[in-house]
Structure 1
């Protein structure tokens, strides 16, 4: 996420925003109706949050031509759902009926249970005499199972106006993935033409205004679910999602947002509740609570190989520390990015996880990014006088760098309790990074590390290279030269990551689109890095194709 104003999206975040895995065109035989622009199921089907015995299923029913998303009109309709072990539905494993009503914008979400672990399933819906496209999903391995490997597509930051979702198209063409992990900024809230990309506004947002009301957010979600590449990916893979800020408003925190004006846009609590309601209606996520009291941080197990803790780093955080004297607040031990309950949940879960790899879905970067890293014991006078945080001059206070006490609590818990093999998966900053996570950045490579972090690029949202309209490799090398724990920095490209987890290592492969303004863009391999069990980051060869 970035401080994205209509005048200058990079005004505050000047630098930052803005294995054999076969890339095969052999796709599942999902019907072409997944691209339908008419009929009852024009927004496709989706699944998410796979468990060993179940999964969330989703669709929306257009009950009449005037019952458009956000319209608040339309009669209730009965919807039949079916899950089968084969695409012809000769062996139905679960089925039922549900009613889609205007109160949920005619979306339906089914939390199916009673399925077999580690298995592929097909699902469909029927309503108004029509049958939806057939979706494919997959349950997680049984808790006691030890899978040889897992592969996840990792994505973040998809701005409709900035380009086409080619990253989703290339992920949909793969047949080797267990799920898609979406780390936030699934959509953007800006009004039409207010935050495009290097090529301007490639395709305009609906509604034309900034999303503020419940109807606005419903319309924007619906528009994104007409993208053919996103429709395909949802129909082929279960998603595991969390939100960042643009699902509500830029630079959001517990009491407001940088892109929210109470004088003209009403109370933040009302806007946040509206955005959360639309998100839960339109996304295949499992959550607790409603309105302004929604809990989406949650944990999913994949046998004894991995556990994935998905964080919510927007709902409970304090306001971002500001440059100047406000920088001192970054070190304030009373400030939080997670909230106490979520931090307790996270640390307890990491400590007790009966798995090899502890994966953390983390919407904003946790690796220190400072200029320069300062050693607290010898720089207290400087930091106290100038107001520079002890860890160094923070580039982006919206990340964990602006909440250093929470980061130290987490890192010290990991190291003191000897929790091994922790991997943070991150989006947000429209660029690619890989880092060892030092407890004290100034001491790296000496001293303890709390795991590693893999940051994936944006699907389309503006990168540093887009802003400069030039190769920013020299900037990346300068950043790495000052922050030695950063092992990979790429600031230009858009794309996605593929994470492969085996008992021996966790490897991230970065893939970059040739041109996000081209709906048929090709893709290239960027780089690959891995961490062996108990180790630190190492380079790897490109995956076989």
Structure 2
């Protein structure tokens, strides 16, 4: 095999896309990297010879206490990405890992395993993020999470990448930094190039190197408002067959992300559970691969309650309900890419309606729900809520992204009767890392027009305990036997790569109780 040397090799580091880990189990974790075997072997190129890649896992960053090692072959068939499911580790441990190839060593990554299934940890703490559009700003949220030393993992709830062509997203002031490739991504090569670009972001690379990620996809990993048979923006006459595009996006995602999937390509199942002792279990959902088409036309709203329509698919719903019913843990956490709390909108003036329309997919005329969320698939929500209620399953918390804003909600069986009647859990929705918020799209100065809108939304939906429509940032979920608390943190300016961050709000759900405000974040 011929290798580039000297200046050419120095200009193209072997490990230009960093390292990552994910899906921690009590005795194992995924570790990941990508190897640039030659200057022409760029992501998506299909070029480059196979290369042997060594990997090591140790107790310490100096690798004086190695615990596992091996080698794999990186080939162009997987875009020279490497994903190793390391086993035989000790529960609740902190580990360091690295890769070697072509005479170079990767950055050293840090990761950890989950507690043993019989252990009872005092607490768990997760960073929670979603909706990170490269062109819309800098990933300061990732940088601030990486600076913390108290997190067990990062939960990414989808829209890790965006599919838009250069300048097509329509952010606050145009593209802060341009997408690669320049076109809307459609082919396998396109998706590989876009994933590779995101992996070069220094803040994202730092966070990946510090903590394991637990991820699911939403729509923008393939195409906007995607469903099992297409997307609201996919035109077969322009972009080809949807199944080909969907298969390409799924393949690239599984190559470039440290996720543990069952199967491969379009058929891969990424809904899965991760156990954290007796304290919590996290069920990560896939709400794009099996859903029916969103009800779009005004005449289609009558179909929202059709029991034949699904957002989860039959098999995933059975898996979810059986899992939460039998989980031998206290807290049942559900990684949920789109909002499940019932949501109706009060009358809004036209500019505000347009902002909701652009972010949340509402028709211009206005409707009582966002049909891309669980509100558009009420039979599935009713099935899930009834299971939780009838089987008396307590301490359920949904963790949600998607809508570029922050929400805390109780989940009532009958929203119209709230606060009367039973509730079946809580939902915490985190803001976008960068993607344009509803408040920004209104175009008014910060904390002016958005404030009365937030009050109107909570006034019409009493189970919504907190709504903030403007800020970008992240959440930190802290779980103890007494309560689960979400702390929201907001960036000062996503167009500033050095943006500061502030605490925005805190809400908790006590064990067996309902969502309540807290005055300060957990320390």
TM range (shorter): over 0.9
Match of 2:63 in 1: 89
Q: Distance in 2 between matches of 1:413 and 1:226?
A: 43
Q: Does the alignment pair 1:210 with 2:188?
A: no
Shifted more, 43-52 versus 319-328: the winner is 319-328
Check conservation: 2:346, 2:456, Cα contact below 8 A: no
Check conservation: 1:505, 1:532, Cα contact below 8 A: yes
Match of 2:7 in 1: none
Map Cα deviations across residues 139-188 of structure 1 (whole Å, 9 max, x no partner): 00000000000000000000000000000000000000000000000010
Q: Distance in 2 between matches of 1:538 and 1:292?
A: 41
Map Cα deviations across residues 303-337 of structure 1 (whole Å, 9 max, x no partner): 00000000000000000012411101111010000
Match of 1:505 in 2: 483
Q: Does the alignment pair 1:543 with 2:514?
A: no
Q: Does the alignment pair 1:253 with 2:227?
A: yes
Match of 1:525 in 2: 503
Shifted more, 467-476 versus 483-492: the winner is 467-476
Using a 3 Å threshold, how does the CA distance of structure 1 residues 536 and 210 change in structure 2: closer, same or farther? same
Q: Does the alignment pair 1:426 with 2:400?
A: yes
Check conservation: 1:76, 1:100, Cα contact below 8 A: yes
The secondary structure found in structure 1 opposite 2:115 is: coil
Check conservation: 2:141, 2:474, Cα contact below 8 A: yes
Q: Distance in 2 between matches of 1:329 and 1:160?
A: 36
Shift of 1:393: 4.7
Q: Distance in 2 between matches of 1:99 and 1:290?
A: 18
Unmatched 5+ stretches in structure 1? 1-35, 374-391
- Of 233, 238, 251, the residue aligned with 2:207 is 233
Map Cα deviations across residues 170-207 of structure 1 (whole Å, 9 max, x no partner): 00000000000000000100000000421211000000
Check conservation: 1:153, 1:179, Cα contact below 8 A: yes
Match of 2:121 in 1: 147
Map Cα deviations across residues 403-458 of structure 1 (whole Å, 9 max, x no partner): 00000000000000000000000000000000000011101111111100000000
Match of 1:376 in 2: none
Q: Distance in 2 between matches of 1:95 and 1:86?
A: 14
Check conservation: 1:49, 1:286, Cα contact below 8 A: yes
The secondary structure found in structure 1 opposite 2:304 is: helix
Q: Distance in 1 between matches of 2:266 and 2:401?
A: 24
Unmatched 5+ stretches in structure 2? 1-9, 348-365
Shift of 1:219: 0.1
TM-score normalised per structure 1 = 0.89
Check conservation: 1:180, 1:239, Cα contact below 8 A: yes
Q: Distance in 1 between matches of 2:68 and 2:318?
A: 37
Shift of 1:543: 2.2
Match of 1:9 in 2: none
Written as runs of structure 1 = structure 2, the 5 A alignment for 1:137-216 is: 137-216=111-190
Using a 3 Å threshold, how does the CA distance of structure 1 residues 372 and 163 change in structure 2: closer, same or farther? closer
Match of 2:256 in 1: 282
- Of 324, 340, 344, the residue aligned with 2:318 is 344
Using a 3 Å threshold, how does the CA distance of structure 1 residues 544 and 426 change in structure 2: closer, same or farther? closer
Q: Does the alignment pair 1:477 with 2:455?
A: yes
How many residue pairs were aligned? 492
